Amino acid sequence: MIDPGSALRFDGKVALVTGGTRGIGRAIAESFAAAGASVCVLARKPDQLAETEASLRALGVPATTLAGSAGDHAALDAAVERCTSELGGLDIVVNNAATNPTFGPMIETEPSAIRKVLEVNVEGALHLAQIAWSAWMSQHGGTVINVASLGGIRPSPFIGIYNASKAALLHMTRQLALELAPGVRVNAVAPGLVKTDFARALWEPDEDAAAKHHPMRRIGVPDDVAGAVLFLASDAAAWITGATLVIDGGMSLA
């Protein structure tokens, strides 16, 4: 029987979150810290990292941060090494960081933008899973959560190559779940429109109008996604792997 008092606790666990200084990634990092996990955050901007680390430590857990891109293999390697050497392990990986340097029809996307999107959103996520596996999880177990998008399931205007990268991430989730079981569970979340700076162009022009298209009559907030990630990483989801949890306020029903 699951103990409801401990199922969503992560005391003694170590979580690595990419892109964890703002938006969805920040909410995820803070949720793990609030649930007792030690947390490492990899992101690009040193000033935001310093503030994030202080915020996480204020929750009473060990925390560390590292400046670098989720598309840079050396930065990912360093983050894993930081987790194992400084925090004592690596039980949870959250591939949250993503990029989308282009906005417009996919048919017009420049090759350089395509390469950048795939480098961060797909290749980087796979590399982090690979090194987490070899450095820790192959011997100790763990869980990987990939933050994808509703756009990886259904097309939408103006962000076609981003959506294609997220579709690849969803298939990669299933493939890794098959390969790494039973010791490591791999799952994904597919958020719809969430109120973040990253998605500002999609909601800021008319948030009320965007909300009306959702059965829940609002767009998402980062905590909506963080709660789902926390569940998938927890013992309450111990028999779930290869799954994608859609978090979209019912938008895919409309």
Q: Which residues are catalytic?
A: 162
Distance CA 28, CA 95 (A): 11
Q: Which residue has the tokens 């017009």?
A: 108
Burial of 211 (0-12, 13-18, 19+ CB in 10 A): middle
Burial of 60 (0-12, 13-18, 19+ CB in 10 A): exposed
Distance CA 102, CA 119 (A): 14
Q: Which positions ≥6 away from 186 have C-beta within 8 Å?
A: 129, 143, 144, 145, 146, 173, 176, 177, 180, 241, 242
Are 193 and 212 in contact, with CB atoms under 8 Å apart?
no
Distance CA 64, CA 52 (A): 9
**DSSP 8-state assignment for residue 169:** H
The amino acid present at 210, given as its one-letter code, is A
Are 187 and 243 in contact, with CB atoms under 8 Å apart?
yes
Q: Among 175, 169, 181, 154, which Cα is nearest to 238's?
A: 181
> What's the number of CA atoms in the CB half-sphere (13 Å) around residue 226?
19
